Amino acid sequence: MNKPYRLQFLLSGLLWLWVALAQAADIQVAVDRNPVGLNESFQITFSASEEPDGSPDFAPLQDNFEILNQQRSSNSSWVNGKSSRSEQWTVNVMAKQAGELLIPPIAFGADTSKPLKLSVTENTAAVKGNDEIFLEVAASPEQPYVQSQVLYTLKLFRRVQITQASLSEPEIKDALVEKLGDDSTYATQVKGVDYWVTERKYAIFPQQSGVFTIAPLVLNAEYMSTQQQPRFNGFFNRPSTETRRISSKAITLNVQAVPASFKGANWLSAETLQLSESWSDASLQTKVGEPLTRTLTLTAKGSTVGQLPELLDKASIDGIKTYPDQPLLKEDKQVDGMTALREEKIAFIPSKAGEYSLPSLEIAWFNTKTQKVEMARLPSVTVKALASGVSPQTPAPVANAVIAPPTDAVTPSPITVTSDADTRIWQAVSATLALGWLLTIGFFYKRRELKPKASKLMAETAVEKTLKRACWENNPQAAKQALLQWGKTEFAVESLAGLAGFCSAGLSTEILALNRLLYSGQSQDWQGQNLWQMFSENQVSKTHSAAADDGLEPLYKI
pLDDT band for 380, please (50, 70, 90 cuts): very high
Half-sphere exposure of 279 (CA within 13 A, CB side): 12
457: amino acid identity, one letter: L
Is it true that 25-121 and 269-386 share their CATH fold? yes
Name the CATH architecture for the domain at 25-121: Sandwich (2.60)
Residue 154's nearest CA partner among 178, 175, 181, 136 is 136
Per-residue pLDDT tens for 30-55? 998 888 887 778 889 999 888 887 88
Provide the residue ranges of all domains of the chain, joining segments of one domain with +.
25-121, 133-255, 269-386, 462-549
pTM value surpassing 0.85: no
Contact 134, 127 (CB under 8 A): yes
CA angle 320, 324, 326 (to 5 degrees): 175
Per-residue pLDDT tens for 158-178? 998 888 889 999 999 999 999
pLDDT band for 464, please (50, 70, 90 cuts): confident
530-541 average pLDDT score: 81
Q: Which residue has the higher pLDDT, 380 or 124?
A: 380
pLDDT band for 372, please (50, 70, 90 cuts): very high
Per-residue pLDDT tens for 305-333? 999 999 988 788 888 999 999 999 999 99
Q: Does 148 have pLDDT greater than 90?
A: yes
| Partners of residue 180 on adjacent β-strands | 201
Q: Which range has the worst mean pLDDT, 129-143, 227-241, 392-406?
A: 392-406
Per-residue pLDDT tens for 479-495? 888 898 888 888 888 88
| Partners of residue 222 on adjacent β-strands | 164, 243
Which whole-number Å values give the CA distances from 166 to 41, 95, 301, 492, 499, in the listed order?
A: 25, 32, 31, 50, 51
Neighbours of 137 (CB within 10 A): 18
List of residues 6+ apart from 493 with CB closer than 8 A = 487, 499, 501, 502
Q: Does 3 have pLDDT greater than 60?
A: no
379-389 average pLDDT score: 89
pLDDT for the residue 432: 56
**What is the rounded CA–CA span in Å between residue 309 and residue 302?**
15
pLDDT band for 1, please (50, 70, 90 cuts): low
Per-residue pLDDT tens for 48-74? 888 887 889 999 999 999 898 888 888
**What is the rounded CA–CA span in Å between residue 326 and residue 346?**
9
4-20 average pLDDT score: 54
Name the CATH architecture for the domain at 269-386: Sandwich (2.60)
Q: Which range has the worst mean pLDDT, 44-48, 214-218, 344-348, 387-391?
A: 387-391
Q: Does 518 have pLDDT greater than 60?
A: yes
pLDDT for the residue 442: 57
pLDDT for the residue 233: 44
218-224 and 210-214 strand pairing: unpaired
Burial of 73 from C-beta contacts in 10 A (0-12 / 13-18 / 19+): exposed
**Rg, C-alpha atoms of the chain:** 38
What dihedral do alpha carbons 59, 62, 68, 71 form, nearest 10°? Answer: -30
437-466 average pLDDT score: 56
Q: Please report how the helices 529-549 and 505-520 are oriented relative to each other, as an axis angle in degrees rounded to 10.
A: 150
Q: Which residue has the higher pLDDT, 91 or 539?
A: 91
36-37 and 116-121 strand pairing: parallel
450-471 average pLDDT score: 64
193-219 average pLDDT score: 94
Q: Does 229 have pLDDT greater than 90?
A: no
Tell me the three state secondary structure of residue 128.
coil
pLDDT for the residue 400: 36
Q: Convert 139-157 to b/e letters by CB count within 10 Å (16 or more is b).
A: beeeebbbbbbbbbbbbbb
Q: Which residue has the higher pLDDT, 21 or 271?
A: 271
Contact 38, 122 (CB under 8 A): yes
Q: Does 141 have pLDDT greater than 80?
A: yes
Burial of 440 from C-beta contacts in 10 A (0-12 / 13-18 / 19+): exposed
357-373 average pLDDT score: 94
pLDDT for the residue 124: 54
What's the DSSP call for residue 278?
E
Contact 268, 254 (CB under 8 A): no
pLDDT band for 86, please (50, 70, 90 cuts): confident
pLDDT for the residue 450: 45
Q: Which residue has the higher pLDDT, 327 or 498?
A: 327
The CATH class given to the 133-255 domain equals mainly beta
18: amino acid identity, one letter: W
**What is the rounded CA–CA span in Å between residue 208 and residue 220?**
32
Per-residue pLDDT tens for 231-256? 444 455 556 667 788 899 999 999 99
Neighbours of 359 (CB within 10 A): 12
Contact 226, 191 (CB under 8 A): no
Sheet of strand 241-247: strand arrangement: 162-167, 218-224, 241-247
pLDDT band for 390, please (50, 70, 90 cuts): very low
Which whole-number Å values give the CA distances from 114 to 64, 75, 107, 342, in the listed order?
A: 17, 22, 10, 31
pLDDT band for 477, please (50, 70, 90 cuts): confident
pLDDT for the residue 14: 55
